[in-house]
Amino acid sequence: MVPKPTLDIVAEPRGQTYIDLLDFAASRCQSFSLVWNDQFHFEQSAYDIKHDLKPFLISNDRTNEWPGTTLIGHEAIVRKYRVANDSIKLLHIADALYAWHEPRLPEDLAFYDFDNKPWLASISHEGQAWFLDQSLSSAEIYAYVPHLKLKQHRE
């Protein structure tokens, strides 16, 4: 069962705020995922990041579901990678969280905690992202990512 969103990110993390968010996620998570939707055609830059991340690959699953998304009628490939200094540095290829979007890059960067539960989810093409860690406070996030714009999630 996917945990319910707790805090929404209401302005796209860009530049240093994006880098701070990656570093914060790396301190709290063991893995991250990127999505390759079969319906899209990707540019060479997407294949380059796929190649560069290959040493960190944990799983390569064909599915219709990942944090924040359930597809109806087709599937995508969700590749999960190990968090390491070098894998996080490779995520700097994007200059913002929602830059993880076809055709330039794979989509929907998500992070998973040490229990393999979704910690942060994003839907790049919709410009949405949120934290899923029920124990995480906005004060704790701001200590690591001071310029992130958050609001309490409302159902």
CA distances 32 to 47, 56, 57, 91, 104, Å, are 17, 10, 10, 10, 19
- The 10 Å Cβ neighbour count of residue 99 is 15
Rg (CA), the chain: 14
Average pLDDT over residues 112-140: 94
The residues spanned by each domain of the chain are 7-152
Say if residue 2's pLDDT is above 90.
no
Percent of the chain with pLDDT over 90: 82
Whole-structure pTM value: 0.94
Q: How confident is the model at residue 155 (pLDDT cuts 50, 70, 90)?
A: low
Closest CA to 23 of 82, 105, 109, 85: 85
Mean pLDDT of 76-97: 97
pLDDT computed for residue 3 by the predictor: 67
119 neighbors 131 (Cβ within 8 angstroms): yes
Using the predicted structure, report yes or no on whether residue 154 has a pLDDT greater than 90.
Answer: no
